[in-house]
Homo-oligomer: A and B are copies of this chain.
Amino acid sequence: MKELTIQQKKVLQCIKFYIKKTGFPPTRADICRELGFKSPNAAESHLRALEKKGYITIENGASRGINLTENTAEKSQSIPVIGLVAAGSPTLADENIEKHIPYQESLFLSDFDYFLRVKGLSMKDAGIMEDDLVAIKKTSEVRNGDIVVARIDDEVTLKYFQSSGNQIKLIPANDDFDEIYINKETEGFFIEGKSVGLIREN
């Protein structure tokens, strides 16, 4: 999808906000009032640009005939599900996104940034099973005992976090797997975030 200009983003945000507030889309005049434009044609041309770039559709002749496209409507209120591939870091890049789940406030106690699809049973005894979706909050501030997403070079794992001094232990919750010992300054080591919740879809 083509990139939007700053003004076009403002207009798109204005439409979303207006719908959220009133339950129906704005008129050209409403947009002008919200954004301080003095001519309805300012709104009109922005709308046509948004339409051309595929962010909205406009029903010609209908009042308030603005419709957010699926991509536009969803992205604002949905959380990406990212696959935990053995080699490769969980980034929000499009190619890693498995699907989107409609966003919901207060689903967990903490806010979070994305879901991680779990592969393997290394955290089995913590009740984290294959194909579970772990809610991840992007942060490097983690405490001992937290379940963290750790990256070592291109390898990404979900483990218990335990640090003492410069030494970090990544502990699996499964006797069949080994603990991983790392130095804080090890190159290529990074804490991506921590688990703040879990969803099992079946």
Contacts and interface: CB of A to CB of B under 8 A. Distances in A.
A72 to B, nearest CB: 11
A32 to B, nearest CB: 15
Task: Report which residue of A67, A107, A127, A201 has the largest number of chain B beta carbons within 10 angstroms of its beta carbon.
Answer: A127
Interface in A85-110: 101-102, 104-110
Copies of this chain held together in the complex: 2
A88 B23 CA distance: 39
Interface in A32-88: 59, 62-68
A163 interface: no
Nearest to A69: B23
Task: Report which residue of A62, A197, A198 has the largest number of chain B beta carbons within 10 angstroms of its beta carbon.
Answer: A198
Given A102-B105, A197-B200, A64 B67 contact: no
A70 B85 CA distance: 42
A199 B196 contact: no
A63 B23 CA distance: 12
**Closest A-B pairs by Cβ, 5 of them:** A198-B200, A127-B129, A23-B67, A63-B63, A127-B127
Given A22-B65, A110-B202, A197-B199, 18 more contacts: A23-B66, A23-B67, A23-B68, A24-B25, A24-B62, A24-B65, A63-B63, A101-B107, A102-B105, A102-B106, A102-B107, A104-B104, A108-B201, A197-B200, A197-B201, A198-B199, A198-B200, A199-B199
